[in-house]
């Protein structure tokens, strides 16, 4: 039976450590989150981010904008925040309405205020092995979970199922930079179960409930489930068939309480780093 990798416990320690550090400064770090429209899932995520930021002693603001806002007006709002010296981190909650180009919006954020680590400058620096101003939160949280549990990365075969700009691609760079051999799979990958079964570290990030079956998992592999899927009965489940997978894996993250809390903890860690970059 697999050992559970509990991100909830580690994230609480990280937030508490950040809170103590913030108390030593004359000013508080300020995080601003922009949410466009009334997507229920986004509203829940933003509420959690604001609450946790306040627990850590940050100034936390949420700017709520109408779904009908134009690309130009959204970018103007970002420019105001870019120029505001009191604002240390800017986050635009994804997804955005279909008429908004998310890539262009992210590119408008100053790289030194891009708390999500998604600006092309930050992703580019990560890709070539330079330190970004901020590292993408979920991938960074996954690495922290592996390191905290003394799971060796160097020389291991890591298979990532999902190639998103938010998780799959930046995570592949983080793993490569730690000398893992990385395979990134996606919807066009052939023989996916066979490839997955070769993984020492298997990461599922596709957003499909119970997509990864137990027979895809090598005996003794580490399984990281990034998926958060809400079922009709309100239950949250991951991209991995957890009940069967935990019988084969040596380590596995639960859903909820695994990767999710680490994403918010890394968001606060990034905000603090950007605050220090701008003020110290």
Which residues belong to the active site? 49, 93, 116
DSSP helix/strand/coil, 27: coil
Residues 254, 255, 259, 264: is their CA dihedral positive or negative? negative
Q: What are the CB-based long-range contacts (under 8 Å, 24+) for 234-237?
A: 237/209, 237/210
**In whole angstroms, what is the distance from residue 103 CA to residue 192 CA?**
29
Query: How far is residue 88 from each of residues 17, 81, 129, 187, 193, measured CA to CA in Å?
Result: 19, 9, 24, 37, 43
Residues 203, 178, 183, 155: is their CA dihedral positive or negative? negative
The span from the first CA to the last CA of the chain, in angstroms, equals 47
- Confirm if 242 and 259 have CB atoms less than 8 A apart: no
Q: What are the CB-based long-range contacts (under 8 Å, 24+) for 93-100?
A: 93/33, 93/34, 93/35, 93/36, 93/42, 93/45, 93/46, 94/42, 94/166, 95/39, 95/42, 96/36, 96/37, 97/36, 97/37, 97/67, 97/68, 99/71, 100/36, 100/69, 100/71, 100/74
């Amino acid at each position: 039976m697999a050992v559970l990798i509990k991100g909830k416990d580690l994230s609480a320690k990280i937030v508490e450590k950040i809170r103590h550090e913030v108390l030593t400064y004359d000013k508080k770090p300020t995080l601003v989150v922009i949410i466009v429209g009334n997507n229920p899932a986004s509203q829940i995520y933003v509420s959690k981010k604001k609450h946790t930021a306040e627990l850590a002693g940050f100034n936390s603001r949420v700017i709520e904008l109408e779904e009908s806002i134009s690309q130009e007006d959204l970018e103007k709002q970002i420019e105001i925040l870019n120029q505001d010296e009191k604002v240390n981190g800017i986050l635009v909650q994804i997804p955005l309405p279909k008429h908004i180009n998310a890539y262009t919006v992210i590119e408008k954020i100053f790289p030194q205020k891009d708390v999500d680590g998604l600006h092309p400058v930050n992703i580019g620096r990560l890709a070539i092995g330079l330190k970004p101003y901020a590292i993408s939160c979920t991938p960074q949280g996954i690495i922290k979970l592996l390191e905290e549990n003394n799971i060796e990365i160097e020389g291991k075969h890591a298979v990532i199922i999902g190639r998103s700009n938010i998780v799959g691609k930046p995570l592949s760079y983080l793993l490569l930079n730690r000398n893992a051999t990385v395979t990134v799979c996606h919807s066009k990958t052939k023989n996916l179960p066979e490839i997955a079964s070769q993984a020492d570290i298997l990461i599922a990030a596709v957003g499909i409930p119970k997509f990864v079956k137990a027979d895809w998992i090598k005996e003794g592999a580490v399984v990281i489930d990034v998926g958060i899927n809400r079922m009709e009965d309100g239950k949250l489940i991951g991209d991995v068939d957890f009940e069967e997978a935990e019988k084969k894996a040596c380590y596995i993250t639960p859903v909820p309480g695994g990767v999710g809390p680490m994403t918010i903890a890394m968001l606060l860690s990034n905000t603090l780093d950007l605050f220090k970059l701008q003020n110290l």
